[in-house]
């Protein structure tokens, strides 16, 4: 799993990434050294839980991808099997292109977690 994340952070526009369990625990990570992995994972899980509540209230299905823009970048969270892949996106990244490039990673992670 670590090797996949090592390759993922080499994509243009990716500033870091983490695979998070449904319980909010870090499973694998490639974040900058100044970032607290446990806190990041817990916040990702909380955001996913809140979005699931929103999806239930609006009857639009389960969240497949969350994207939150910030002043200096973004965070994209994608379902990867029972877990979530959280990607820190650089401010100048082309998110549409990055989504296409992330798809094979999400599929490979999903497949690997199913084993």
| Residue 34 reports pLDDT greater than 90 | no
- Do residues 85 and 105 touch, judged by C-beta distance below 8 A? yes
Q: Give the Cα separation of 110 and 87 in Å (integer).
A: 16
- Choosing among 3.40.50.1100, 1.10.287.1080, 3.30.450.30, 3.30.2010.10, the CATH entry for 2-114 is 3.30.450.30
33 pLDDT band (50/70/90 cuts)? confident
57-81: average pLDDT: 91
pLDDT tens across 86-111, in order? 999 999 999 889 999 999 999 999 99
Give Dmax over CA atoms of the chain in angstroms.
39
Domain boundaries, the chain: 2-114
- Do residues 76 and 87 touch, judged by C-beta distance below 8 A? yes
Q: Give the Cα separation of 81 and 44 in Å (integer).
A: 15
Give the pLDDT score at 2: 86
């Amino acid at each position: 799993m670590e090797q996949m994340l090592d390759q993922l952070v080499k994509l243009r526009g990716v500033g870091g990434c983490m695979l998070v369990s449904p319980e909010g625990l870090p499973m694998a990570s490639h974040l900058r050294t100044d970032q607290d992995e446990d806190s990041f994972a817990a916040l990702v899980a909380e955001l996913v839980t809140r979005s699931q509540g929103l999806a239930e209230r609006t009857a639009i299905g389960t969240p497949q991808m969350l994207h939150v823009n910030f002043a200096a970048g973004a965070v994209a969270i994608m379902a990867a099997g029972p877990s979530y892949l959280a990607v820190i996106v650089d401010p100048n990244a082309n998110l549409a292109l990055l989504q296409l490039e992330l798809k094979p990673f999400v599929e490979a992670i999903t497949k690997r977690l199913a084993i």
